[in-house]
Amino acid sequence: MTEMLLRPLPAFVHIALLLLFALSACAAPPEPTATPTATLTPTATLTPLPSATPTPAPLPTVARDAAERAVFRLFHAAPELPPVDIYMEGSAIAFGLSYGEFSSPLPLGEGEYTLRILPRRANPSQTEPLVRESVRVRIGETLLYILRPEGTALRVLRYPQDMRTMALGTARVAAINALLGNVALSVFLDEEIAIGAAQSGGQSTAAREVIARRYTARFLRDDRVLLAAPLTLNSRDSAFLILYGTSEAPRLATLILPTPRESKLRVLHADANVARVDLYLDERLVLEGLSFGTLAEPLNLAVRTYRMRIMPYGAALDSRPLFEGTLPVGEDRQLLLAIYSQRTQFGRQVRTALFNEPLDPPPPGSARLSILNFARQATAVQALNPSVPISEPVPYAALSAPITLSAGRHQLAFNTVERDQPPRTAETAEVNLEAGWNYIYVVLSSLNTPTLLFGTDVQTLFAALPTPTLSNPLSVRLVNAAAEPISVDLIVGETPLFTAVKENSGTAPRLIDSAMRPVRLVRSQSGEVLAEQTLFYAPNSSLVFVLIGRQGAWQLLQSQERTRPSRNSAVLRVIHAAPDAEPISVESPLSASRSTFFGNRPTATPRSAQYFVRLEYGQISSLITLRGNTYTFIARSAIDGTPLAELRDVEIATGLRYDLLLVRGDSGAPRDLRLVLIKAE
């Protein structure tokens, strides 16, 4: 660790500092954050302030895939240290970071970086840093560094956050003791759940998995409660609880992040004309020797798009594949990949079909059944129970909509529909359906193949999830940031929640009354499905869905809003929604044309700037709070600092949420970009 020793200042330096402060007070309005009464100063020399706020320098480009990069944050926990500027490898990543604030998340590639912390507005090329630290980064890490004093020195301490995937209904908690001095802490959730002990300043507890729900976090010193605060943990949250300040005036900061979600994949060999096969995902053999009529055990897959290759059984990886393509895996899905073949002018070709297994819980006392048709001799298959049709005809290589049936035994028949021929019964089956389960029945091309009926106990799967109440609501809204003109509907379960939402617009929030529902985004009027997801209920929170992309490459992003506007402030986030555009940094220098009033005392508008550093396409920034005022927003290239888009003199009103979109201009040129402000009300 690098230390910064505190030395008393000579008297002439105190006089010079007072003169400098007096001059700066005359020259510019005060900054929005209060200046602490005492200052930690590394040396007795004065550093001249730059005439303008420095522009962020570029950092090396990092991978777009979140699984192939790390994330860095810094938390300011030094009570008597004024706001600071943070630099990483010569690039500014935060300006004016104040006591009790986190820096914005910074994506980094693997390597070793130099972290420097400087006094606010200090010239980085002429000023000795308060702290200089080497930061070692490995792919996949989520790193929190905490700036705090230890005796007469400033230190930054490293805390890797455990972001491994978790089961539905659980969350992970660790506590960090960042109090001044060596104050021993014991940390509990409610009265009985012990998180652990942090015996001295800077220590942290091990992470513990708990049920996702609402708690009271309690920090004890010698069996005396130093601080107690409400804490809501949503399903699959990873939380750092940071107690900082002094034992006489402790403060709590929380860093709560959603962990990466997994999905399950079943693979079905559905064609007697295809021999045994091996399945590779991203060069890794995941299934070997899959034969016709076989349904493989579920695979757990991280959320991303995989390179998929289907090879003849035992064939070398560098030989010619039977099929090659991509496998997109979304969040919290149960996917079914079917392998079959089609006759073409080049002979019989292997094909795949990917289905989302229905996960919407059935009504009490009932089950749901879907029919998957791979009967090659049939144009379509229709299910009967026992002689009454219970489904519409299901085309070949298609999955029917779920059919709700009472739990118990059912005698099913399957009629094949072959073009102009009359229907005939091709197969019968007796099935036993359990309450709370969703099933898929597979009709294959050979009647000698054993019946394939498989299911998921969705009632148990989601039993651990909290359910909404009047005191624990969930609100949802939609932002349409599409890169081309399109009007969309958002359907939650079977209910159209939002309809006819045009591009570059958003909706007001609406309350949700279900713990878990499938979500579909469809093109208005035509009903074409653009994206599908699963909505998970999170108590006392707000969820925003964001549509980005263009035809053939739509993405539906999902982001929780944990910061709420107040009567004294608004909240704003930035969404990079311009495909193929370079990474950006966004600054919002405040207009000096107005004053902000608090009570009866006018306060001059500060001239500081807020920064969103290095946002890439498809990323949503963290939320910031803004005072009601007139603002100008500027988006700059994070590569060379060139201004790319500007939105001038927009009114921000307190009590509201705002989304600032970076979208494509009309010409389609690489740097023809616009900023669009959306108000949620």
Q: What residues contact 313, with CB distance under 8 A and at least 6 apart? A: 275, 276, 277, 278, 288, 289
Q: What residues contact 69, with CB distance under 8 A and at least 6 apart? A: 62, 63, 107, 108, 109, 139, 140
User: What is the DSSP secondary-structure string of 55-97?
Assistant: PPPPPPP--SSGGGSEEEEEEE--TT---EEEEETTEEEEEEE
307-328 pLDDT per residue, tens: 999 999 999 988 999 999 999 8
Provide the pLDDT confidence category of residue 346 given band limits of 50, 70 and 90: confident
527-563 pLDDT per residue, tens: 888 988 777 666 566 789 999 998 888 988 888 776 7
pLDDT score at 560? 74
Range 429-434 contact pairs with CB under 8 angstroms and sequence separation of 24 or more: 429/453, 431/369, 432/408, 433/367, 433/369, 433/405, 433/406, 433/407, 433/408, 433/409, 434/367, 434/407
Percent of the chain whose predicted confidence (pLDDT) is above 90: 42
85-137 pLDDT per residue, tens: 999 988 888 889 999 999 988 889 899 999 999 999 999 999 999 999 999 99
Least confident of 3-17, 142-156, 593-607: 593-607
Domains parsed from the chain with CATH numbers: 11-160 (2.60.40.1120), 365-461 (2.60.40), 470-561 (2.60.40), 563-681 (2.60.40.1110)
Query: Residue 514, exposed/middle/buried by CB under 10 A (0-12, 13-18, 19+)?
Result: middle
pLDDT score at 307? 92
Least confident of 383-387, 396-400, 437-441, 519-523: 383-387
Q: Residues 245, 179: contact at Cβ < 8 Å?
A: yes
pLDDT score at 49? 29
Q: Looking at residues 294-310, what average pLDDT do you find?
A: 89
Full-model pTM: 0.59
- Does the pLDDT value for residue 12 go beyond 50? no
pLDDT score at 462? 61
Q: Looking at residues 61-79, what average pLDDT do you find?
A: 79
pLDDT score at 45? 27
Percent of the chain whose predicted confidence (pLDDT) is above 70: 80
Q: Looking at residues 499-519, what average pLDDT do you find?
A: 82
Q: Which residue in the block uniquely carries the two structure tokens 């003169």?
A: 19
DSSP E strand boundaries for 420-551: 424-433, 438-444, 452-456, 474-480, 487-492, 495-502, 505-506, 510-512, 516-523, 529-536, 541-548
Q: Which residues, listed in sequence order, are joined to residue 456 by a DSSP beta bridge?
A: 438
Strands 366-374, 403-406: pairing kind: antiparallel
Q: Looking at residues 590-602, what average pLDDT do you find?
A: 34
pLDDT score at 514? 56
pLDDT score at 419? 60
Query: Which tokens hold the place of 633?
Result: 């927003």
The count of residues in the chain is 681
Q: Looking at residues 416-444, what average pLDDT do you find?
A: 79
The C-alpha torsion from 376 through 382 and 385 to 386, rounded to 10°, is: -70
- In 3-state terms, what secondary structure has residue 18? helix
CA 545 centroid distance within chain: 11
pLDDT score at 20? 37
- Does the pLDDT value for residue 643 go beyond 80? yes
- Does the pLDDT value for residue 663 go beyond 70? yes
Query: Which tokens hold the place of 159?
Result: 């805390």
